[in-house]
Amino acid sequence: MSDTIGVLFQRIKKARHCVALTGAGVSTLSGIRDFRGKNGLYNAGPTGQPEAEKIFDLEYFEQDPSFYYKAAGSFVYNINEKEPSVVHRVLAALEQRGLLKALITQNIDLLHQKGGSRRVIEVHGSPQIHYCLHCAGVRMDFEEAAAIVHSGALPRCPRCNRVLKPAITFFGESLPMEALRDAGTEAQNADLMLVLGTSLTVNPAASLPDYTLRNGGDVVIVNNQSTRLDGRAVQHFADLGEVFEGLQKLLNERR
């Protein structure tokens, strides 16, 4: 394994434009449940039934916004209780050294930013802003909203008193066009894309590695489940922790 991690490190160093695409799997090392893993949100909820679709369903949010805040509290609003994993830290270090040009994420937990990454493209939206679905211009930042949620209350619009919604893309909403455009551009420009902790099943994010491949770039996949692009990857690993601990060691040796 160490030899192949060394090969990966050389690929990253030699790449002209390396980008990363991350999914929920990168945050499991920080204690956050993924979506489609063995104990993922899509597999079971408190009632024994899948509930992720209810958590992020726009129509359900409008009916009962408290359900979202109760269900999402453990993995969206407790960022101060969660620490970036070795994956988050190494990706930030690669960016700081100029080896990673952009980080495209499907995640909404803000751990990439907490880990030190600056060029983060959030294709599924972000909880950094909360807004009113009915009153134009009403905004609340994440820190204020999180403090309200932790107090046991709900963030509300000062004009109409309706519960504010995070700028996370829910089912029934369009993905953020600017983020999608930026992600597509980065994927097309990449001569190396690191696909990390994602099963590549949710489009349009799942199609981004295809842009890289069509333009002659290489794809490396690190995921503990199979993906549809495993056969086209120049390298494939299953254990994110092992791979990124190895990369961290190599980075430290070359300071």
Domain count, the chain: 1
Cα 185 to Cα 43: distance, rounded to the nearest angstrom:
33
Does residue 19 form part of some domain? yes
DSSP, collapsed to helix, strand or coil, labels residue 121 as strand
Cα angle value 126/191/210 (rounded, 5°): 65
Using DSSP's 3-state secondary structure scheme, residue 19 falls into: strand
Residue 217 inside a domain? The answer is yes
* CATH number, domain with residue 249: 3.40.50.1220
pTM recorded for the entire structure: 0.90
pLDDT of residue 211: 98
**What contacts 24+ positions apart, CB below 8 Å, involve 242-247?**
242/1, 242/5, 243/5, 243/8, 244/85, 244/86, 244/87, 244/90, 245/86, 246/1, 246/2, 246/5, 246/6, 246/9, 247/5, 247/8, 247/9, 247/12, 247/90, 247/94
Peptide bond into 204 cis (omega under 30): yes
The C-alpha angle with vertex 14 and arms to 122 and 94, in degrees rounded to 5, equals: 40
pLDDT for residue 63: 94
Which residues are designated catalytic?
124
What pLDDT was estimated at residue 111? 94
Domain that residue 92 falls in: 2-32+84-124+175-253
Distance CA 123, CA 184 (A): 10
Angle between helices 240-253 and 86-96 (to 10 degrees): 40
Using an 8 Å Cβ cutoff, are 170 and 76 in contact?
Answer: no
Residue 44 lies in a domain: no
Is residue 206 a part of any domain in this protein? yes
Q: Is residue 183 a part of any domain in this protein?
A: yes
Q: Is residue 138 part of a domain?
A: no
* Confidence at residue 98, expressed as pLDDT on a 0 to 100 scale: 97
Distance CA 16, CA 48 (A): 47
Residue 161 domain-assigned (yes or no): no
Q: For the chain (length 255 residues), average pLDDT per consecutive 10?
A: 87 98 93 60 48 85 94 82 93 98 96 96 96 96 94 96 97 92 98 97 94 98 95 96 96 81
**Residue at token pair 């309706």:** 162
What gap in Å lies between CA 209 and CA 183, rounded to an integer?
10
Residue 79 domain-assigned? no
